Structure 1
């Protein structure tokens, strides 16, 4: 597994378990905008709630979390 994500009111919070280049984060931001549009249109704002347990345990030391803003 390369990382996890979840939809928040302000965007998508993505955590990569290993360092990613800025170009990859830029591509993920574009994908996050498309994904948010898709999920919002379907009314599925918490589609993967069963994975919420990821945020209750520590991520690896190499993990990086970014809020992929949709603005």
Structure 2
């Protein structure tokens, strides 16, 4: 059996991470925001920390390289 992606949950998660670097709103809806998150910015660090915490909650092993 292959991996099955929950598309709705993935979409919700992607929009959740846009809180770090939200920019360029293109509509009135809660998910109608663009995102501009530059590498190594404070927003980038925040989403990396979030990702690390979420993967560790799932029991995954996380390894960081020199870029973080």
TM-score bracket, shorter-length normalisation: 0.3 to 0.5
TM-score of the two chains, using structure 1 as the length reference:
0.31
TM-score of the two chains, using structure 2 as the length reference:
0.32
Of structures 1 and 2, the larger Rg is shown by 2
Question: Greater relative contact order: 1 or 2 (C-alpha under 8 angstroms, separation 6 or more)?
Answer: 1
